[in-house]
Amino acid sequence: MHRNILVVLIISVVLGTLIVVSSHHWFTLWVGLEMNTLSILPIISYQFTPRNVESSVKYFLIQSISAGFLLNVVVIQAWLYSSWSLGNPLNEVTSFLITFALGLKLGLFPCHYWFPDVIQGVGFLQGLVLSTWQKIAPFVIILSIIESLSTNLIIIMGAMSVLVGGWGGLNQTQVRKMLAFSSIAHMGWICSTIVYSTSVSCIMLIVYIFINSSVFLIVNNMSLSSLSSLSRLPFYSFVGGFGLVISILSLGGLPPLLGFLIKFISLHVLVSNGSFLLCSILVIGSLLSLFYYLRIAFNSSLLLFPQHLLLLFSWRNGLGNQSGLTLEGIFLSISIGVSLLGLFCFPIFISLLN
């Protein structure tokens, strides 16, 4: 793909999301989503391998189904109220349809089945975009119409997503699939919290994007596609291994890292509203997720991890001598620093709750 075409596609993806964020009109919102989807498809199939094309087709079909449901909601709302405004209330049918459509886009239970396969079939950078940037537009739509949606349905989908994200990643050996199930679990946390506090859920999404981006960038630089390849990380870079361990443990929610603080504040919001059963489900799901987070952390920090002799010396053919100040290195430094400064951010989060 020519560089100019790639730049145009990236601008279209960003512009489509910005249209959704700034839209107060059902039709322009749908146009923004479609513009975003059609622009991201060539980027996903950038390498044009059979597995890459398969993932692109799966993503296109899922997004087409979601767009079809959303377009039905748009038509029904225009027919009932003779208006395209987002401020018009939703009935039971349109509320269910749009919740299902947004659940498909976010990868929430029971619409999560496509997400791990698509992430496994694309590159790390494309997976990073699907796990972070592509979540912003449907999340903003939920924020805009949260008062008209069925809160019980969103809570059930969020709680089950946390359980599925924890349970599904236990038996995985591919890093991309683990990160995909991690994304499902975190979106479950965010959607469970959005019903009670939109500000806390926005903070959770922003922090998740920072931490998840650092993990994807590190494993992309080191070409760490499986658990066995993580054992090469100490030979590549001690600093990279330390950054990956910190970012993974922050995703897992271990104190005193920032990933723990956002989950702690989410639990505080839920307990304040009397949702004790939901809190128990979220904690159980996080404990399940913590198992494979610790597997990644242990594999990337043990110098003498059990492995094949050829794999032990394969690091010599890996990365070359990379030096200099890059934009990616700056972002990694900032995101890892954010994870480490969790305790210092605690007063800021507490002040936001008051």
Question: In angstroms, what CA-CA distances link 348 with 19, 72, 153, 194?
Answer: 30, 42, 31, 19
Range of the domain at 282: 3-353
**What are the strands, taking DSSP E only, across the chain?**
none
Burial 161-199 (b: 16+ CB within 10 A, else e): bbbbbbbbbeebeebbbbbbbbbbbbbbbbbbbbbbbee
pTM of the predicted model as reported, rounded to 2 decimal places: 0.88
Q: Which residue has the higher pLDDT, 31 or 310?
A: 31
pLDDT digits (tens, 9 = 90+) for 203-220: 889 889 988 888 888 888
pLDDT value at position 339? 66
Token pair of 179 as six digits: 């990160």
115-126 mean pLDDT: 90
d(CA 45, CA 182): 23
Q: Are 202 and 246 in contact (CB under 8 A)?
A: no
Looking at the 3D structure of the chain, how many domains does it have? 1
Half-sphere exposure of 264 (CA within 13 A, CB side): 17
185-199 mean pLDDT: 92
1-22 mean pLDDT: 87
Helices 276-301 and 151-168, axial angle in degrees (round to 10): 30
pLDDT digits (tens, 9 = 90+) for 324-334: 446 666 666 66
- 8-17, 35-44, 238-247, 282-291: least confident range: 238-247
**Mean of the per-residue pLDDT values for the chain?**
82
